[in-house]
Structure 1
């Protein structure tokens, strides 16, 4: 065994730290080493690889159930050198800083409205990026510290190391200093999430572009910005950049918000256009060059006409999708199957991979929504199944979410397109309304894109299949209705629900006009 441990250590120090053995070649002997025989090796009931929302939730739940748990987490700096602390994408470069910067933009709009309500606001109104960024970054750092404290309080061992499998029960973690740590566990959960995708085939993309990994940690304003992509990340970032007064352009290859209801997505884009965000539709970038003054010259092509054009920007933000963090885990060597097309880990309904005691949750798992709350719940339920005598599975149906564009879009359940594809147009009834939030009236705001639709089965009692809400506080509105839809609400039950007046959410329980009727769905009174 001592000889085997020495051989293992030598292999770990080999060129590029590539692990050269196969699990099957070491059957029996290495399994013994993986159970604590190797010198300096630490053994756990549960090892979680990844310190994001899902991994932390799983680790803390397992520790609460009395198990010996470790978490390994390491943030590879972005190509621009941005790095952050414990907590994963949501805390550091996703939901939290995004919502705070979205709020900064909303406040700008409220200041513009204020004089209509009698407030005397000095003009011109200016935004200080440095002050906002410092406040947001300080809050994120406090969350990083809070996660460290929570792990410590629950006696979860935390390792800031980059981990990779050496056999099916053991990982080797490498610290920034180069120190190696061997960890083994009865159960291993992969919760490494994903990172933004770069279009490496485009000249200058990697050298001069940034992503959502960087935008929230910029010390200076990004200035005139080109956002490439039409995902929710792209539109959310473009929305708050426009909202704080920056010249912002979105370059989109095809449709906005792929995977979401396309009528709602088009309205989101229309609202952004009417409030200052510029769009280059049907275009793809082909080259980025840095000019002598530091600005970026971007060349792009119109996909329809083939015509090329150029523009000058201070910042280019790539928001063209994400890729799972699986490439450096050495999964193939231990028999964990991945989808070769997207590199995500294939799991079953119980989050089990092709290796029975290795699991995957969150964004890294195939077929899972890339949403923080689903990863958290999946992590907790997995820990309860492993150590708490539970059999409860994560239910991915009717998961609500919100896109935090300037006019927020909340949804739960099926899009209209999905409902039609699943049940047929003749079996679907869609109730809808254009409405005007009361707070928009005195401020004389345009409410052209404030819209709600309820997608239902046509046959009584008309089961609700999906709700789509575009308007202020969409997340707060959608969360409440999500419970009813999760519980199998019918259209009749929604109509018997008393609204809270005057609110935007009451408009949902007043949806009386169907698309099929052809009547004008514009709300004209209380």
Structure 2
């Protein structure tokens, strides 16, 4: 039998961060039929053997460092400090297992199919899936396939006995710390893990080929951090000749306990070195093993990475790649962002069909001890690109105030160092490199200086981040934009993802859609930011009431065509409700830079709405000449002076500022932006009634509407002739229904089900009393067990006290709302209920659904 082929819109190979971001964007936002094929553990490298366990272990080590440093602040701290590393590892594993479940839960919520198994290409758009559980292989097919399989740690094949060492993957299985460990490699994995173990008290050796580590970073970072590691006790073996052979003298107890393990390292210069553990951190290779890429004409680099363009396209149309498998900026947030942008481009609206992730100037942080942050060009890279005569460098090195109470020799061992790399006569910042405690968080704010190509003198004018607002400190008018809480902590990263701001562009973060627009015509790099909340996952669908897009003045007039009532109290309530109706509505001004702002309040008093002539304020300077003015002017006068706009004296005014600092906009110059949903009850009962009448029509009315008006609305006037021998009918089909008869039940007393109770196919069992018989319970118990419902039935005595034995059926039916959909048929023959099998009575199956 040929394998089954399942059709999808989008197939994602790899369940790591990048694959998850790509799949969730396609399915959750754009409702595309999507599947993930994952041969590993959900969450990928970052969650299981990367960022998450690394950062948790870094925190563990940092706490140990802080405790030892507390002595310098006068704390009486015991020495040695006891700690339970094995207990911490168990907690870390538990948290990671929770994250695995969260990933899979999120995929399921968004309708993504997850296949645990190995993927192998059969052609450009068809894949064979071999399940991990040993079940039969099957095929999946899609026009769009994304490869996001990540990478795996490299173990040197040329060194005899290299397999006796471990990689960073196995490092996170260790529960009992070795006495001595050797790290081979000068990259960030080696530096981070070596710093962690040294901080916990393990004798740590670092074998590096050159004189410094982190050789892709700026020389300042290399020199300062390498020296610092030596100062804090890490044995850095500079210019190491390399390992020739690894000999296992004594095996470890198991993979979690290398304390008894003994290795002898034969060095290329003939010397020998013994250690408990050896960790290879010499790089990672793209995980393309077993994918069957040899069947595709897909380009790869000499190191095996998939070659992609800026849109993540591979050389094969319809096949895309992102994350570590491409070798591009191997960072988790980068892979997530690339996956989201790819989903926007493939399945999003027209304005997003050119979306891509800009890999230029991506910041990164190394969780060494202390941390390192870097973005942009190193000094040698800047000189190579711009010429030495066009590059200027600013350096500073000092000790953090935290170490002021430390002995001088200890204080010197804990440096903080900054470097700015600038180019050109205006000294535009093209690189920033920082080292020291807290620089991992500090880096986030400095990233903007590089991304927006600001110069040194312009730093005070930079857009900055605060707990409440994003604003430019140089703006005389407080041009503030509110930041939703879901976006607040990540908005700076969002700014980095946008390639250009010459036109209005969109991006997103979780539940917020963010619009970036030029603040002025002459500045494409300083932007205004508008936020559109997304409460549902994916684009909004369904009959949600929306504010009418267009003139704000028309919206106010249509609020209630009858106008304000004559009664003074009712009139005041009318204006108060109108103000509530308009509050937080986003409007765009048809003047100046066409900014978009939310309405704070409507200008009104208890008698009437106030006009552009009523609202007056003191104007300190003339809006055009900027000369001192100090006169009281009306809103009408000010807009005539500032924008040469002639306003209707009876036009209304809204405040888009705040209560204490109002900013008045004329209603006649404002429009309501699109896509704003009204989330409250409509203000008047007749409006509610009219909306219900529009939304709730009888079936025959709906048929007429869909056939007569709905199809033309969609642009379907006439179905064109098709190239197959079938006719397409424009009329809707009619499906006959049937009423399900009431069940035959024997009640106590006069409690009977009336015929009209079953008119809708349901039976209302409220307040029904049944004859008490234990056999009732036994039958219902069997029925509940078949469905999977845990039942508890109580029997009440005439005085309403509870008797500890099964009984009254109504209590069970009402308490647990028992559904018998899959029981097929219940035949009630008092006093016994029999549950018959669906195979015999499938056509007569009864759905008994108590209506409470």
**Interval containing the TM-score (normalised by the shorter chain):** 0.7 to 0.9
Partner of residue 316 from structure 1, selected from 278, 283, 287: 278
Cα offset for 1:182? 1.3
- Is contact 1:168-1:334 (8 Å) kept? yes
Pick which of 208-217 and 292-301 moved more: 292-301
Counterparts in 2 of 1:106-505, with a 5 A limit?
Answer: 106-179=62-135, 180-206=137-163, 208-254=164-210, 255-283=212-240, 284-292=242-250, 294-301=261-268, 307-339=269-301, 341-366=302-327, 368-389=328-349, 390=352, 391-444=354-407, 445-448=410-413, 449-460=415-426, 462-494=427-459
- Is contact 2:372-2:435 (8 Å) kept? yes
Tell me what 2:701 maps to: none
Q: Which runs of 5+ in 2 are unaligned?
A: 251-259, 466-852
Partner of residue 49 from structure 1, selected from 3, 6, 13: 13
3-state DSSP class of the match of 1:396? coil
> C-alpha separation between the residues in 1 aligned to 2:261 and 2:424?
59
Pick which of 477-486 and 54-63 moved more: 477-486
1:171-222 deviation line (CA, Å, top 9, x unaligned): 112122333121111100000110000001111111x111111111223223
- Is contact 1:437-1:447 (8 Å) kept? no
> C-alpha separation between the residues in 2 aligned to 1:227 and 1:106?
20
> C-alpha separation between the residues in 1 aligned to 2:336 and 2:179?
35
> C-alpha separation between the residues in 2 aligned to 1:243 and 1:183?
49
3-state DSSP class of the match of 1:386? helix
> C-alpha separation between the residues in 2 aligned to 1:497 and 1:115?
40
- Is contact 2:429-2:449 (8 Å) kept? no
- Is contact 1:44-1:185 (8 Å) kept? yes
Q: Which has the larger radius of gyration?
A: 2
- Is contact 1:127-1:244 (8 Å) kept? no
3-state DSSP class of the match of 1:160? strand
3-state DSSP class of the match of 2:422? strand
> C-alpha separation between the residues in 1 aligned to 2:21 and 2:220?
36
3-state DSSP class of the match of 1:123? coil
> C-alpha separation between the residues in 2 aligned to 1:277 and 1:218?
20
- Is contact 1:127-1:245 (8 Å) kept? no
Pick which of 288-297 and 381-390 moved more: 288-297
Q: CA 1:273 to 1:127, structure 2 compared with 1: closer, same or farther past 3 Å?
A: farther
3-state DSSP class of the match of 2:360? coil
> C-alpha separation between the residues in 2 aligned to 1:447 and 1:236?
21
3-state DSSP class of the match of 1:248? strand
3-state DSSP class of the match of 2:437? coil
Cα offset for 1:479? 1.1
Cα offset for 1:310? 1.1
1:214-243 deviation line (CA, Å, top 9, x unaligned): 111223223310001111001111110101
> C-alpha separation between the residues in 1 aligned to 2:141 and 2:82?
54
- Is contact 2:445-2:464 (8 Å) kept? no
> C-alpha separation between the residues in 2 aligned to 1:260 and 1:441?
29
Tell me what 2:753 maps to: none
Cα offset for 1:498? 11
> C-alpha separation between the residues in 1 aligned to 2:108 and 2:174?
30
Pick which of 462-471 and 490-499 moved more: 490-499
- Is contact 2:449-2:462 (8 Å) kept? no
Tell me what 2:680 maps to: none
- Is contact 1:331-1:337 (8 Å) kept? no
Counterparts in 2 of 1:29-48, with a 5 A limit?
Answer: 39-48=3-12
> C-alpha separation between the residues in 1 aligned to 2:10 and 2:345?
13
> C-alpha separation between the residues in 1 aligned to 2:464 and 2:229?
29
> C-alpha separation between the residues in 2 aligned to 1:356 and 1:137?
40
> C-alpha separation between the residues in 2 aligned to 1:493 and 1:418?
23
Counterparts in 2 of 1:504-523, with a 5 A limit?
Answer: none
Cα offset for 1:499? 11
> C-alpha separation between the residues in 1 aligned to 2:462 and 2:38?
47
- Is contact 2:42-2:103 (8 Å) kept? yes
3-state DSSP class of the match of 1:308? coil
Q: CA 1:170 to 1:447, structure 2 compared with 1: closer, same or farther past 3 Å?
A: farther
Tell me what 1:516 maps to: none
The alignment's C-alpha RMSD in Å is: 1.8
Pick which of 467-476 and 328-337 moved more: 328-337
> C-alpha separation between the residues in 2 aligned to 1:497 and 1:432?
20
TM-score by length of 2: 0.51
Q: How many residues align?
A: 446
Cα offset for 1:113? 1.7
1:280-317 deviation line (CA, Å, top 9, x unaligned): 2222111111114641111112xxxxx32111111100
> C-alpha separation between the residues in 2 aligned to 1:132 and 1:244?
13
3-state DSSP class of the match of 2:111? coil
3-state DSSP class of the match of 2:320? strand
- Is contact 1:287-1:299 (8 Å) kept? yes
1:317-366 deviation line (CA, Å, top 9, x unaligned): 00000000113211120222212x11011111111111110000011115
3-state DSSP class of the match of 1:329? coil
> C-alpha separation between the residues in 2 aligned to 1:296 and 1:194?
27
Cα offset for 1:431? 0.6
Tell me what 2:553 maps to: none
TM-score by length of 1: 0.82
Cα offset for 1:447? 4.3
Pick which of 166-175 and 290-299 moved more: 290-299
- Is contact 1:137-1:217 (8 Å) kept? no
